[in-house]
Amino acid sequence: MSADKILPQPGLGTFRLQEDVVIESVSSALELGYRHIDTASFYQNEAAIGKALANSSVPRSELFITTKVWVEDLAGDGVQKSIAASLEKLGTDYVDLLLIHWPSPGDEVPMEHYIGELNKVREQGLTRHIGISNFTKAQVDQALACPGGEHIITNQIEVHPFLSNSALVEHCQNKGLTVTGYMPLAVGKVMDEPVLQEIADRHQATAAQVALAWVAQRGIIVIPSSTKKKHQQSNLEALELKLSDADMQAINALDRNDRIANPDFAPAWD
């Protein structure tokens, strides 16, 4: 099965959502039919998400849960400890996808080590699949060449109309990896973009729906974050929107390399 068939489209992003807010967000998303929930140890909301999952009637076998290992947990047996803590908080015996959240800053921890540890966790059945996040083209190639790296199925990266990330997206797809795009709405900036609004008006849609459709039509899994049920429903409906080649090209032209997630330890971007 190809990776793009493994990851459900869309997912629900949970970055910055805490306690009752994330419980309500996950609960309403599951009611609407979302099955892909994206979190991370760094988000500090896994326990709250675990409560939402426990209260849901959706069988565990139908869920796709992604979490991530933070940079401080890449050395030694940190990956093992990280997944153990995540599983306990989430209240599950396994996750469906475990990602390395960021490559080790300055290559302080050798990539061979933490990719190898990631694959050990997969072999132990604590995660069904493994992947990476925020890796550049060169780092993708390095990760895939590591022992165990052949099992990597995705690179989760920032993608939205103001950061198309085309070179990296195409590189990953050419390597057989599915791209998962986070912040697809550019933390709300897409709503104020006239080009998106004009296209939305023609399709009787919203600018947010047009942005999501543009990402999805590039073969990318989208994981928008939303706390309101009506917005979650709107995000689902966005995937039914079919943009023309002219629409896609007009949105491509909005790219201005406007990167939102850019911590001081980030790699040298492509």
pLDDT digits (tens, 9 = 90+) for 37-73: 999 999 999 999 999 999 999 999 999 999 999 999 9
Rounded to the nearest integer, the mean pLDDT of the chain is 97
Q: How confident is the model at residue 3 (pLDDT cuts 50, 70, 90)?
A: low
Confidence category of residue 269, pLDDT binned at 50, 70, 90: very high
Asked if 99 and 68 count as a contact pair (C-beta separation under 8 A), the reply is yes
**Helices 207-216/229-238 angle, 10° precision:** 50
Task: List the structure tokens of 92.
Answer: 């599950």
Alpha-carbon gap, residue 95 to 108, rounded angstroms = 27
- CA 185-29-161 angle, to 5 degrees, is 10
Domain boundaries, the chain: 3-185
pLDDT band at 4 (very low <50, low <70, confident <90, very high): low
Burial of 135 (0-12, 13-18, 19+ CB in 10 A): buried
Name the band, by pLDDT with cuts 50, 70 and 90, for residue 5: confident
79: three-class secondary structure by DSSP: helix
Q: What Cα–Cα distance (Å) separates residue 79 from each residue in 38, 67, 68, 82?
A: 18, 12, 9, 5
Q: What is the pLDDT of residue 2?
A: 57
Contact predicate 86/95, CB 8 Å: yes
pLDDT, tens digit, 9 for 90 and up, residues 157-216: 999 999 999 999 999 999 999 999 999 999 999 999 999 999 999 999 999 999 999 999
**Helix, strand or coil, per DSSP, at residue 131:** strand
Catalytic residue annotation: 43
CATH class of the structural domain 3-185: alpha beta
Among residues of the chain, what percentage have pLDDT more than 70? 99
Q: Per the annotation, where are the binding residues for substrate?
A: 101
Residue 1 pLDDT > 60: no
Instruction: Concatenate the DSSP letters of all residues of 139-170 into one string.
Output: HHHHHHHSTTGGGEEEEEEE-BTTB--HHHHH
CB 91 within 8 A of CB 118: no
69 near 107, Cβ under 8 Å? no
